[in-house]
Every structure is written in C-alpha cells, then in structure tokens.
C-alpha cells in the first residue's frame, strides 16, 4: 500500500528530528513514569491499607487503663455507636535476647481463649496462634522474627512479671495495629530491639495479676457512628480506672505514621510529574514552533495546493503523537518498574500482608490523558501558527529575522561583549520568553534534585543541630514507675557517671477555652544542663521559667494561647488533678507537642515529692558500656537508651532509602536538563547555521562560533541555577507543610553540598548536551549551508 505523501513527509520530518523527538519523549516518559509510580504507590498503599484494616478488623478506638473489671466491657458495648469491644492485657516486657548487647523490648498482648480477637485480627505468616492450654506459647510480629531469624519452634527469653521465661514461638504474624512497629517515644522503628508478642490471655493474666480484669480495650464502631461521641463516652466510663484517654485511628501510632507518609507521598505525586509534563509541553512547543517556522513556505504551498487548515493542523499534530506514543509507552513501563522499586522501599518500612505495586487501567489511562494533554497543549500554540498562516505567504520571500538593541545592549553589556557577545545577547533578547521558559525548565529540574535530597539534610540538621543540642546526655534511664528524687543523687555518685539529672514526664490533657489537645508535661531541673530547650533549627537556648509553663509553639497555636494566658492541665493518670498554670513563653521545637515546667511545678501537679520518671546521665568516655550494663540489671529500670545509637540507626535507615531517591531524582532531572539544552542548541544551530557558516567563511574558528552558539545556552543555565536553588527550597517548604504538623516540624534545611551537587548536575547535563550538538557544528558544510535558502 502506498503511503500518502503527507504521511511520508511526517515520517521524514521525524527521522530528521529524531534527536529532539527522543529527548522530548524521554522527558515525557519521565513525567508519565513519575505519575504512575508515585500515584500508583499511593493507590497501592491506600488499597492495601483499606483491605488490611477491613479484613483484619482494625479497631476504630483504642484506650488503656490501669486495671478495669471485665464486666465493664459489656457496659462499653452498650454505648451508642459501639459495634464490637475487645478487651485485652497489654504489658511492656524486656527480651534479653542472646547476642544483642542491650535487651529488646516487647509489647506483650493477650489473645482471647478463642485465639481469634474480635478486633485487630492477626495474619499468620508461619505456624499458628498460641493455644489456651499452653502458657509458654507466643506468636511474634514478623519484623522481629525476621530480624532474629525466628521460626516456629524457636524460643525467646521473656521477663514476665519479674521472672525470666523461655517462651516457645509457635507463630509468626502480622497485625493491622503494627503496620509500622515503633516503640512509643522512640525516634525510629528498630525491628532488632522492638517486638510485639501475643500470648494466651489466662497465662498473661496470672503473670500480671490481672485475672478477671483488663488494661487495654479496642473497639470497632457501627457504620455511621460518631467517633467523637464514642470517645467521650468511653473516656467517661474508663476515667475511674486510670485511663489516659481513648484515641481514634488518627492518633493510633502505626496508622498515624502511615497516614503521614501517605500525605507526603501524595504531595510529591502531585508536584513532580508537573515539572516533567510542563517541560515536555514547553519543548514540544519550541521544537514544533521551529519546524513550522522552517516549513513556512511549504505550509503555505500545501494550502495553496488545496490542503485544508484541518489537514495541515492534523499533519503537525501527527508529530506530537509520534513523540507521545513511545514517550507514554516507555513512561508506563518505567512507571511500573519505578513503582515496584518504591513499593519495595515501603515493604521494608510498612508490614502489610499483601503489598504489591498495582497499576490499574484507570491509572494508566489518566497518565496517558495527562501526558497527552501536556504534549498537545504545548504543540497546539505552535500548530495554531501553521493553521493560521495565510496561503498567500507562499508567494512572498521570507523577511530577515528582526533583531534590535535590547535592554542588555542598552545597559552597556553589549559594548563589553564584542561582536560575538552581541550576537549572543541579541539572540537572548530577541526571544525573552524562550529564554525564560528554558531557564525555568532547567530550574525545575534542579529543584527536583533538591526536593529529592532536602529531607536528608533537614534530618541531619535536626539530629546534629537540634537534637544533640537539646539532649546532651549520654544515656537516658527510664524507670518502670516514677522513683524518688534521691535516686538521681545515687546515680550521680555511681562510678563513671559525671552528671545526673532527673526528668518527670506526666501525661496531661491541655485545654484553653473549647480547644483541647493531649500532651505531656516535662518537668526539668531548673539549673539543668543535660536537657536544653532549643529553638527550631538549633538556634538559641530558651531558659526554663521558675514559675509557669513553656509551650511548644505549635501546641500554643492549636490551643490559641498567648503569653500570660492560663491553660487548664488535667493529669491523665492518678487522681486526675487539674491545675491552671500561666503560659510564660513558647519554645519552637521540631517534634511533638510538649509542655515544659520545672520539676517542682510537676511535683505539685502529681502531689508527690518530686519523683522522677527518668534520669539523664553524662558518663565518662570509655565507661559507657559498664555503666549501661549495671543499670540494665536493676529491676526498676525499664530502658536505658543511648541517643548516639538511635541517631546512627536513623541515619543508616534513611541513607539507604535516600540513596535510591537520589539516584532516581538525579537521573530524571538530568534527562530534563539534557532535553532542554539539547533542543535549544539544535534549534539555535538550525536557525543560525547559515550565519555561523558565513562567520566560518569569514575566518572565525570553530571555537569562536561555538561560543556564539552555546553562549545563549550558558546564559540560560546560569540564570536557571540560582532560580532552581530557590525553587528547590520553596518546594521543600511547601512539602513540609504537607507533613503532619503535630508530629514533625523540621526546619527546611538544605546543605551547601546539596546545592552544589544540584548545580553540578545541571552544569554537567548542560555541558554534555551542548557538546553533543557541537559535534554537528564541527561538521558544518560551509558551502552547502550557504547555498541553501533559509
């Protein structure tokens, strides 16, 4: 079959423009891939979560008490809106695992006699659930089992009610309650040292003297029930039993972290593909615009021959579909691959029974629609020029390109630049919009690199600048129950200890007017040196007031309080004392919603004699291990934490994830920069080859004409770098606003080496593409070019 002549023209145009088409297709593919990978990861995570929560009956409400009689469960069940109630026993225990320098901790949860809880059902990965007739069987959360290579049949040592027991692992499980398993208060999850264990309730009840009672309850709500009303009802009912307040799913720690991660991912999924698609649209417009300008006479002739505007427009849009098709196909394939990598990162972080990257037809369709719209939008402006070109144009010879002395000339730059420099400046000034958009495209790519890396910088700044300045202890010793302040003195005198300071943490509910938040009051010694209050980003120290309280700035904003206001603090334990301290200031911290006061004020709150819940220690270098070891042997100590260790682990975990992100963002950004510079250079070369060849004939060297050709590009890159660095920072700030402000408020910090790295990537990609085009300059056919008519 013979192809229509116009189709042949299209194919030959494509062959001639292959370099440009490939680079645009790559940028477009980058956009499609990012959209599919990021959006698909969001969808996959959301679907996996919804299915998991639903199938495994994830609870809607969670509450803890000191001890409550089992009969209470039936009363809770009668509350309006409550569907199912599951009581249980929940205790934190230590696991002195062999080969682990420090013991691991476990949340030990009871399973009902039936084995299958009404809420938060377990997914058995290996083995089975513990049986009622045996009191030494446990099921282990999969992350801990994997970290220690535990299988059904193995044993784990557990300190149960003061006695060391060897428990037999009968099952390895997953739970919707522990998709992200983190020890409360920890900086980061640690599968080596944090476990969740399930065992039969009666065995657990006898170990903790909780026969006929429970200390933890979870509920599922009826469809359409009001969570707020149920929470109030549960709180009222549990208050006499030492509850510290029921929470909904939004504040359940695993779900909260998962939700926060999802909202960050959604933010990125909305932002990143836009850069690619915007650049692809711009490149499409630029290249097609140039093609149409070059073929002006041909277009007019086609129209004079009798081709309709529609046929001419369709012909040029055909070029778009040729860019679109491979771009979209590669993009979909790349998105699928990239999506699997990203979901792979999440399977290391979050424990779902079935988490796999799913690429739905609807997702692919919307990716194609969005990328198609971007390409067509870019092309349409250029094609409109072709459609509107009057056919009578074909009769007229083209007029020479219009140049004028521009602003750059007028401010005297031209005089400094010499003739070659003037050519560069006037070319830039003649196309201010193209220059601006090119710079913006490159800047967007630079910003993407920064966006891919600023999280690590901000984390590093938090760890080094803030955390190390706030927390100057070597070890933090936490006690099972608050201890007498005398212990602080005893620890201070212990061998190897340089300084010891007591800290008291009390859970409270803070109220101001109708606004309320659960928080913790931290009592610190007035002249303490180990725990400092530091402004965000590691600024200056904030002194602790003798009287009144300091609020974390965000808590102050949530409660709408000013300095001098009084807030209601209700202790969420013991006899629920209520105090109304005055707010004397704010401290701008990165994490949490804490209230700070002196130890004396907290003692008043609890009506005890200044008991402390933990002690911070500074230890002589070299004696850290000995001091830590001795403390661990005390039955009153629940945890000894080494801040340096936590920080290192956080760095390690982030480094491995960030390496992948950095590789992805750098390669994608480099493809954008290469695409922009390459296309600009090709167009400059094509539109000016006659001029450049003339200059060669006049005696200019290759080097000199290269300067003229690439000077404009260098200027665009030079403009793009500061803009990109600024844009990266602005996007970082925008991204941070998507992060749950009540959990983290890291200052957006971008390290100098991230800036220089991003700029270096831009320079390298630009230089590579300019050199690529320069090869054509070296092959410039002087006689041929001069003979052809523009």
Partner 1 sequence: MEAAPSLVLACRDLRKVYRMGEVDVVALDGVDFALGRGELLVLVGVSGSGKSTLLNILGGLDVPSDGRVFFEGTELTGADDELLTRYRRKHVGFVFQFYNLVSSLTARENVALVTDIADDPLEPEEALSLVGLGDRLDHFPAQLSGGEQQRVAIARAVAKRPSVLLCDEPTGALDFKTGILVLDVIERVNRELRTATAVITHNAPIAEMADRVVTLSDGRVQSERRVEHRAPASSLRW
Residues making contact with partner 1 (CB under 8 A): 2, 4-6, 8-9, 12-13, 16, 295, 297-298, 300-309, 311, 390-392, 394-395, 397, 788-789
Q: Residue 288 or 524: which CB sits closer to partner 1?
A: 288
Residue 783 beta carbon to partner 1: minimum distance, rounded to whole angstroms: 13
583: number of Cβ within 10 Å: 22
Q: How far apart are the first and last CA of the chain?
A: 34
Q: Is 394 helix (H, G, I), strand (E, B) or coil?
A: helix
- DSSP codes of every residue in 517-536: EEEEEEEE-TT-SSB--B-T
Tokens of 196: 């969740």
Instruction: Report the residue number, 296 or 511, with the smaller CB distance to partner 1.
Output: 296
Neighbours of 204 (CB within 10 A): 26
* Residue 344 or 390 with smaller CB distance to partner 1: 390
Q: How far is the CB of 784 from partner 1 (least distance, A)?
A: 9
Cβ at position 375, least distance to partner 1 in Å: 22
Residue 576 CA to residue 508 CA, distance in Å, equals 9
Gyration radius of the chain over CA positions: 34
Inter-residue contact 404 to 235 (CB < 8 Å): no
Q: How far apart are CA 639 and CA 351, in angstroms?
A: 25
Nearer to partner 1, 4 or 432 (CB): 4
Shortest separation between residue 737's beta carbon and partner 1, angstroms: 51
Which residue number, 288 or 736, has a Cβ lying nearer to partner 1?
A: 288
Instruction: State the nearest-atom distance from the C-beta of 17 to partner 1, in Å.
Output: 10
Q: Which residues pair with 87 in a beta bridge?
A: 217
Q: Count the neighbouring beta carbons within 10 Å of the beta carbon of residue 602.
A: 28
Of 309 and 360, which CB lies nearer to partner 1 in the complex structure? Answer: 309
Residue with Cβ nearer partner 1 (330 or 394)? 394
In DSSP terms, 173 is beta-bridged to 124, 141
The angle formed by the CA atoms of residues 183, 186 and 191, to the nearest 5 degrees, is 55
Q: Which two tokens stand for residue 16?
A: 């001639």
* Residues 605, 611, 614: CA angle, nearest 5 degrees: 110
Q: Tell me the two tokens of residue 738.
A: 């998507």
Provide the minimum distance between the beta carbon of 726 and partner 1 in the complex, in angstroms, as a whole number: 43
Q: What are the strands of the beta sheet with 61-69, ordered from one edge?
A: 82-88, 213-221, 61-69, 247-248
* C-alpha to C-alpha distance for 321 and 318, rounded to whole angstroms: 5
Q: Which residue is associated with the tokens 């010879």? A: 397
Q: Which is nearer to partner 1, 306 or 621 (CB)?
A: 306
Helices in 35-101 by DSSP H: which ranges?
Answer: 40-55, 72-77
Q: How far is the CB of 27 from partner 1 (least distance, A)?
A: 25
SS3 498: strand
State which residue, 304 or 498, has the beta carbon closest to partner 1: 304
Q: At closest approach, how far in Å is the CB of 19 from partner 1?
A: 16
Cα(619)–Cα(627) distance, rounded to whole angstroms? 8
Between residues 7 and 701, which has the closer beta carbon with respect to partner 1? 7
Are 590 and 744 contacting, i.e. CB atoms less than 8 angstroms apart? yes
Map tokens 């999506």 to a residue.
339
Looking at residue 136, the DSSP 8-state letter turns out to be: S
Q: Taking the complex as a whole, how short is the minimal distance between the CB of residue 298 and partner 1, in angstroms?
A: 5
d(CA 253, CA 265): 18
CB of 11: closest distance to partner 1 in angstroms?
9
User: Least distance to partner 1 from the beta carbon of 380, Å?
Assistant: 19
Give whichever of 5 and 433 is closer to partner 1, judged by the CB atom.
Answer: 5
- Cβ 690 to partner 1, closest distance in Å? 15
- Kindly tell me which of 383 and 725 has the beta carbon lying closer to partner 1: 383
Half-sphere exposure of 656 (CA within 13 A, CB side): 11
Residue closer to partner 1 by CB (options 390, 560) is 390
Closer to partner 1 by Cβ: residue 396 or 702: 396
In the complex, the smallest distance separating the C-beta of residue 404 from partner 1, rounded to whole angstroms, is 17
Tell me how many degrees the CA angle 575-580-585 measures, rounded to the nearest 5: 130
Contact predicate 519/594, CB 8 Å: yes
How near is the Cβ of 786 to partner 1 at its closest, in Å?
14
Distances (CA, A) of 92 to 105, 194, 195, 216: 7, 10, 10, 12
Query: CB of residue 397 vs partner 1: minimum separation in angstroms?
Result: 7
Q: Which long-range contacts (CB under 8 A, 24 or more apart) does 684-687 make?
A: 684/427, 684/709, 684/712, 684/713, 685/709, 685/773, 685/776, 685/777, 686/290, 686/294, 687/290, 687/293, 687/294, 687/401
The distance of closest approach from Cβ of residue 327 to partner 1 in the complex, given in angstroms and rounded to an integer, is: 22
Q: Which residue has the tokens 């009363």?
A: 75
Name the minimum Å distance from CB 322 to partner 1: 14
Q: What single DSSP character describes residue 240?
A: G
* 95 CB-near residues (< 8 Å, 6+ apart): 103, 104, 105, 106, 156, 157, 158, 159, 195
Please identify, using beta-carbon distances, which residue of 17 and 713 lies nearer to partner 1. Answer: 17
Read off the tokens for 602.
Answer: 């907290």
Of 663 and 786, which has the nearer Cβ to partner 1? 786
- For the CB of residue 399, give the shortest distance to partner 1 in the complex, in Å: 14
* Strand 90-95 versus strand 137-141 pairing type: unpaired
Q: Classify 68 as helix, strand or coil.
A: strand
Our CB check for partner 1 shows the closer of 2 and 402 to be: 2
Beta bridge partners of 334: none
How many residues in the chain?
790
Based on CB atoms, which residue is closest to partner 1, 297 or 341? 297
């Amino acid at each position: 079959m013979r192809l229509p002549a116009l189709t042949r023209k299209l194919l030959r145009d494509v062959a001639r423009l292959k370099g440009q088409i490939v680079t645009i297709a790559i940028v477009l593919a980058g956009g499609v891939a990012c959209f599919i990978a990021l959006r698909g990861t969001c969808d996959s995570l959301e679907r996996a979560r919804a299915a998991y929560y639903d199938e495994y009956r994830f609870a809607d409400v969670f509450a803890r008490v000191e001890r409550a009689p089992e009969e209470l469960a039936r009363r809770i069940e009668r509350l309006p809106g409550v569907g199912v109630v599951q009581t249980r026993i929940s205790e934190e225990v230590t696991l002195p695992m062999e080969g682990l320098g420090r013991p691991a901790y476990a949340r030990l949860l009871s399973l009902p006699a039936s084995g299958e809880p009404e809420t938060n059902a377990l997914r058995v990965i290996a083995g089975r659930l513990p049986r009622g007739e045996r009191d030494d069987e446990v099921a282990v959360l999969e992350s801990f089992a994997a970290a220690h290579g535990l299988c059904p049949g193995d044993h784990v040592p557990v300190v149960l009610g003061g006695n060391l027991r060897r428990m037999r692992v009968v099952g390895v499980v997953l739970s919707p309650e522990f998709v992200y398993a983190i020890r409360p208060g920890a900086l980061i999850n640690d599968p080596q040292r944090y476990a969740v264990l399930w065992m039969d309730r009666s065995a657990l009840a006898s170990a903790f003297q909780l026969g006929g009672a429970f200390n933890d309850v979870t509920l599922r709500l009826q469809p359409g029930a009001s969570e707020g009303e149920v929470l109030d009802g549960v709180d009222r009912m549990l208050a006499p039993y030492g509850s510290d307040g029921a929470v909904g799913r939004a504040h359940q720690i695993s779900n909260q972290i998962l939700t926060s991660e999802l909202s960050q991912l959604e933010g990125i999924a909305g932002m990143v593909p836009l850069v690619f698609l915007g650049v692809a649209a711009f490149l499409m417009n630029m290249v097609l615009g140039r093609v149409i300008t070059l073929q002006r006479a041909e277009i007019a002739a086609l129209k004079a021959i009798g081709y309709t505007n529609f046929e001419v427009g369709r012909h040029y849009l055909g070029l778009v579909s040729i860019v679109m098709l491979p771009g979209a196909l590669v993009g979909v394939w790349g998105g699928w691959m990239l999506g699997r990598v990203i979901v792979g990162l999440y399977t290391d972080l979050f424990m779902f029974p079935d988490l796999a990257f799913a690429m739905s037809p609807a997702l692919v369709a919307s990716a194609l629609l969005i990328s198609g719209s971007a390409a067509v939008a870019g092309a349409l402006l250029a094609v409109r020029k072709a459609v509107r070109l009057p056919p009578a144009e074909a009769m007229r010879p083209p007029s020479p390109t219009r140049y004028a002395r521009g602003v750059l000339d007028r401010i005297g730059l031209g005089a400094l630049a010499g003739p070659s420099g003037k050519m560069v400046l006037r070319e830039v000034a003649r196309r201010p919009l193209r220059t601006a958009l090119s710079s913006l495209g490159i800047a967007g790519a630079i910003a993407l690199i920064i966006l891919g890396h600023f999280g690590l910088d901000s984390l590093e700044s938090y760890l080094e600048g803030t955390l190390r300045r706030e927390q100057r202890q070597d070890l933090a010793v936490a006690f099972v129950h608050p201890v007498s302040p005398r212990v602080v003195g005893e620890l201070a005198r212990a061998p190897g200890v340089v300084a010891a300071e007591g800290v008291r943490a009390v859970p409270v509910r803070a109220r101001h007017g109708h606004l309320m938040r659960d928080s913790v009051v931290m009592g610190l010694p007035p002249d303490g040196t180990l725990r400092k209050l530091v402004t965000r980003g590691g600024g200056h120290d904030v002194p602790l007031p003798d009287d009144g309280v300091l609020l974390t700035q965000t808590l102050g904003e949530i409660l709408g309080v000013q300095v001098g206001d009084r807030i209601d603090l209700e202790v969420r334990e013991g006899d629920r004392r209520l105090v109304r301290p005055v707010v004397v200031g704010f401290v701008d911290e990165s994490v949490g919603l804490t209230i700070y006061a002196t130890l004396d004020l907290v003692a008043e709150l609890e009506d005890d004699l200044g008991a402390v819940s933990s002690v911070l220690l500074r230890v002589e270098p070299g004696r850290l291990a000995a001091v830590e070891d001795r403390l661990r042997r005390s039955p009153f100590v629940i945890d000894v934490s080494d801040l340096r260790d936590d920080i290192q682990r956080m760095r390690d975990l982030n480094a491995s994830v960030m390496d992948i992100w950095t590789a992805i963002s750098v390669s994608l950004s480099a493809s954008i920069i290469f695409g922009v510079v390459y296309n600009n250079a090709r167009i400059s070369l094509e539109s000016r080859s006659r001029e450049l060849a003339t200059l060669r004939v006049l005696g200019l060297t290759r080097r000199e004409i290269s300067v003229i050709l690439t000077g404009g590009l260098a200027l665009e890159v030079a403009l793009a770098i500061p803009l990109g660095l600024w844009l990266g920072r602005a996007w970082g700030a925008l991204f941070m606003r998507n992060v749950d402000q009540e959990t983290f408020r890291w200052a957006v910090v971008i390290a100098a080496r991230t800036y220089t790295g991003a700029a270096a990537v831009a320079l390298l990609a630009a230089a590579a593409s300019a050199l690529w085009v320069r090869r054509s300059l070296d092959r410039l056919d002087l006689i041929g070019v001069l003979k052809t008519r523009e």
